Amino acid sequence: MSAAPVPPRGRLRRFWGHLRPFRRSIALLFSSILITILINLPTPWCEKIIIDDAIPRGDLRLLLTMAGLIIGLFALYRLVIFVRGVVSVRVRQRVLTDVRMRMYEHLQRMSLGYFAKNPIGALLNRLTSDVGFVQNLLNDELFEVVASAVRLLVVVGLLFAINIKLTLLCMGVVPVITLIFFLFKKRVYARTLELQQTQARLAGQIQQNFAGMKLIQAETAEERMRDATLAASRQLERVGIRRESLGVTGNLLTTLLSYLPLIAILWGVGGYMVIQKTLTLGELLAYTQYLLGLVAPVTRFFEFNMNLQGGYAALDRIYEVLDQQPEIRDEPAAVELAPPVQSVAFEDVSLRFGAGVGGGTITALEGVSFAVARGEKVALVGPTGSGKTSVLHLLLRFYDPTAGRVLVNGRPASDYTLRSLRRGLAYLAQEVFLFSGSVRDNLTLGRAQDDQTLLQALKLARAHELVEGLQGRLDARIDEAGANLSGGERQRLALARAVARQAELYLLDEATAALDPGTEQVVIQNLKHFLEDRTAIIIAHRLSTLALVDRVLVFASGRLVEQGPPGELLASGGMLAALHRAQDGAAPATTPIEGAEP
């Protein structure tokens, strides 16, 4: 059996950072718990007075006074419990929101490589399930355990006041309970951590299946995917059973080894003392209530510990994410990129990626150099995987070059803040993505833009007729990932979104790939007019896009192999001419140019 993971230290000190804004509410919560503990203390003593004094003496006034006091204390107790519940719920939910949003905002800053290595379903599980477990650190029971130190001091004092010998005998149970707790503590943490990791793997499996449902159904792979999901579910089932069995076992041992000896002492030794007249019946009953009222939270502490370790494990997994630093981030001396974007340039740029588990590296770009002046339109052409999309990713600083420099306005791109650099660019990815929401939401992404600007962008992308035909027009609903639209409709809306940015530099990754030839020609003409005074770098898989550009950069195997005006390159009989012939069908398509960049 592998050793249980050692819980990191200092987590609660970090967690206090989330609690600090709510310290007044937490103080009120602790105060209410202390009040409920103190309210309960007089009740057994009042019952002792009733049994030992009021009833034997027939003192009706004393009886009614004690009974009224017990009723009043109970009513006050329930009122404080109500206040405590309201405060507890508010604190708990606000802290969870704070933790969840800190984690989400941190993930938004992570580089693309991080998301490539971590399944989306597993990250989603940390944002939902793990954050949910954190509330175990804020449960009333936990606060009550902490506050019970006050009750412990007061009650132990009362127990010694009632009978010293009986109390010393009962104290012998404490080392046994303490030993059980420490024996199970690390095991509970390990099982809880394993449970959360297994939940994350299952969530990743299900998320992947849902994302690929079209392919699963087309390939009739439902049974195989069901079996894989069932295997992950069975693993979660086994881990859950082991964790819960550990909790049940610990709770059983704690209860048996505490209650049984105490009951034997109370009714054996205590009953004997009552018979011998060294202890009254009322004192024994009061003693029993005080003791069992003290022991009950202690024996339930194993259950609290299960929740506590669940919160600890969740907190550790959350801080594991928060402690990850983005590979691409603002340099300490980064400045704002002030418009206009006068030029971009690559100086002997190389980009390599680790190949993952198999080791080695993958070269995306090797020794690439070129420059683009303000107002120039440049096309990137080449086979799939030749490095074209990597050029755009480097300009956006999704990655930094392995060697060489990417310059913007004559300075390295890393000299500028990420936000100002990306704000100056408009990017249209080949993998079109639309959010669930309205057409307007998808065009603006939260920017304040008037309807006239949006309508002009829609007309340029030949999407205005589509939107006019939707109920609600700009406020029409779009399903998640644009599932209620065709591929061409999604691409036209994505192009309209980029146009609506009104940026100076446009990065377009095959902006018309999903359009029919007739629509494509109209859109290209509209784009040509729109980009007239703007800079654009356009990835062209379909060579009809070359009508937009002044210059073509041809890539092969990550290298820039030729460049120049499109007419000259086509006439030279080089690689661009070969790609053109292959696309026209005049020669075998030995170097395909269709398809997405990996």
Q: Which pLDDT band holds residue 592 (cuts at 50, 70, 90)?
A: very low
> Which of 267, 291, 322 is the last residue in one of the domains?
322
Give the span between the Cα atoms of 482 and 42, in whole angstroms: 66
Q: What is the CATH number of the domain that holds 403?
A: 3.40.50.300
**With 50 as the cut, is the pLDDT of residue 553 above it?**
yes
- Mean pLDDT is lowest, of 74-83, 114-123, 585-594, for 585-594
Give the span between the Cα atoms of 490 and 509, in whole angstroms: 14
Domain-embedded: residue 546: yes
Looking at the fold, whether 124 and 147 belong to one and the same domain comes out as: yes
Using CA atoms, how far residue 426 sits from 392, 501, 542, in Å, is 11, 6, 21
Tell me how many helices (H) and strands (E) the chain has.
Answer: 25, 12
β-strand partners of 563: 553
For position 593, what pLDDT does the model report?
35
User: Is the separation of the CB atoms in 550 and 531 below 8 Å?
Assistant: no
Give the span between the Cα atoms of 524 and 460, in whole angstroms: 9
For position 312, what pLDDT does the model report?
79
- Mean pLDDT is lowest, of 51-55, 418-422, 550-554, for 51-55
Give the span between the Cα atoms of 120 and 338, in whole angstroms: 35
The stretch 438-445 carries a mean pLDDT of 86
Burial of 106 (0-12, 13-18, 19+ CB in 10 A): middle
For position 554, what pLDDT does the model report?
93
User: Is the separation of the CB atoms in 314 and 196 below 8 Å?
Assistant: yes
User: Is the separation of the CB atoms in 256 and 11 below 8 Å?
Assistant: no
Looking at the fold, whether 418 and 530 belong to one and the same domain comes out as: yes
The larger pLDDT score, comparing residue 176 to residue 99, is at: 99
pLDDT digits (tens, 9 = 90+) for 40-85: 778 888 888 888 888 888 888 988 999 999 899 999 988 988 888 8
Domain count, the chain: 3
Looking at the fold, whether 466 and 392 belong to one and the same domain comes out as: no
pLDDT digits (tens, 9 = 90+) for 464-479: 888 888 888 888 888 8
Mean pLDDT of the chain: 82
For position 587, what pLDDT does the model report?
41
Using CA atoms, how far residue 534 sits from 340, 523, 574, in Å, is 10, 16, 29
> Which of 455, 479, 498 is the last residue in one of the domains?
498
Give the span between the Cα atoms of 213 and 261, in whole angstroms: 60
The stretch 377-388 carries a mean pLDDT of 90
Element (H, E) at 405: strand 403-408
* Residue of 36, 67, 299, 42 whose CA lies nearest to 158: 42
Domain-embedded: residue 328: no
Neighbours of 378 (CB within 10 A): 22
The larger pLDDT score, comparing residue 125 to residue 549, is at: 549
The stretch 389-394 carries a mean pLDDT of 93
The larger pLDDT score, comparing residue 72 to residue 159, is at: 72
Looking at the fold, whether 191 and 312 belong to one and the same domain comes out as: yes
For position 518, what pLDDT does the model report?
83
What domain range is 185 assigned to? 11-322
Looking at the fold, whether 171 and 273 belong to one and the same domain comes out as: yes
Cis peptide before 261 (omega within 30 of 0): no
Domain-embedded: residue 5: no
Looking at the fold, whether 393 and 291 belong to one and the same domain comes out as: no
For position 390, what pLDDT does the model report?
92
Give the span between the Cα atoms of 89 and 138, in whole angstroms: 9
SS3 of 402, please?
coil
Residues 6+ apart with CB under 8 A from 237: none
Which pairing describes strands 343-354 and 505-509: parallel, antiparallel, or unpaired?
Answer: unpaired
Domain-embedded: residue 517: yes
Give the span between the Cα atoms of 219 and 483, in whole angstroms: 20
Give the span between the Cα atoms of 401 and 404, in whole angstroms: 6
Domain-embedded: residue 3: no
pLDDT digits (tens, 9 = 90+) for 261-295: 878 888 888 888 888 888 888 888 888 877 777 77
> Which of 256, 290, 322 is the last residue in one of the domains?
322
Give the span between the Cα atoms of 546 and 521, in whole angstroms: 12
Using CA atoms, how far residue 351 sits from 53, 57, 178, 579, in Å, is 90, 95, 58, 25
The larger pLDDT score, comparing residue 553 to residue 7, is at: 553
Looking at the fold, whether 212 and 304 belong to one and the same domain comes out as: yes
pLDDT digits (tens, 9 = 90+) for 311-355: 778 888 888 888 888 888 888 899 999 888 899 999 999 999 875
For position 597, what pLDDT does the model report?
38
Give the span between the Cα atoms of 266 and 264, in whole angstroms: 6
Which pairing describes strands 437-438 and 477-478: parallel, antiparallel, or unpaired?
Answer: antiparallel
For position 1, what pLDDT does the model report?
40
Instruction: Provide the percentage of residues in the chain whose pLDDT is more than 90.
Output: 15
Using CA atoms, how far residue 138 sits from 79, 188, 546, in Å, is 21, 18, 62
For position 348, what pLDDT does the model report?
95
User: Is the separation of the CB atoms in 212 and 332 below 8 Å?
Assistant: no
Q: Where are the beta strands (DSSP E) in 413-558?
A: 425-428, 437-438, 477-478, 505-509, 535-539, 551-556
Q: Which pLDDT band holds residue 147 (cuts at 50, 70, 90)?
A: low
Domain-embedded: residue 331: no
Q: How far apart are the first and last CA of the chain?
A: 42
pLDDT digits (tens, 9 = 90+) for 184-236: 777 888 888 888 888 888 888 887 777 777 667 766 777 888 888 888 888 88
Using CA atoms, how far residue 388 sits from 300, 368, 384, 502, in Å, is 62, 11, 8, 24
CB burial of 542-574 (b: ≥16 within 10 Å; e: otherwise) equals: bbebbebbebbbbbbebbbebbbebeebbeeee
pLDDT digits (tens, 9 = 90+) for 25-34: 888 887 887 7
Looking at the fold, whether 119 and 206 belong to one and the same domain comes out as: yes
Looking at the fold, whether 252 and 344 belong to one and the same domain comes out as: no
For position 72, what pLDDT does the model report?
92
Domain-embedded: residue 329: no
DSSP 325: P
Give the span between the Cα atoms of 272 and 161, in whole angstroms: 19
For position 598, what pLDDT does the model report?
32
Looking at the fold, whether 463 and 567 belong to one and the same domain comes out as: no
Please give the structure tokens belonging to residue 268.
Answer: 């054996």
Residues 6+ apart with CB under 8 A from 9: none
Looking at the fold, whether 69 and 133 belong to one and the same domain comes out as: yes
Looking at the fold, whether 318 and 353 belong to one and the same domain comes out as: no
Give the span between the Cα atoms of 290 and 156, in whole angstroms: 9
**With 50 as the cut, is the pLDDT of residue 591 above it?**
no
Domain-embedded: residue 6: no
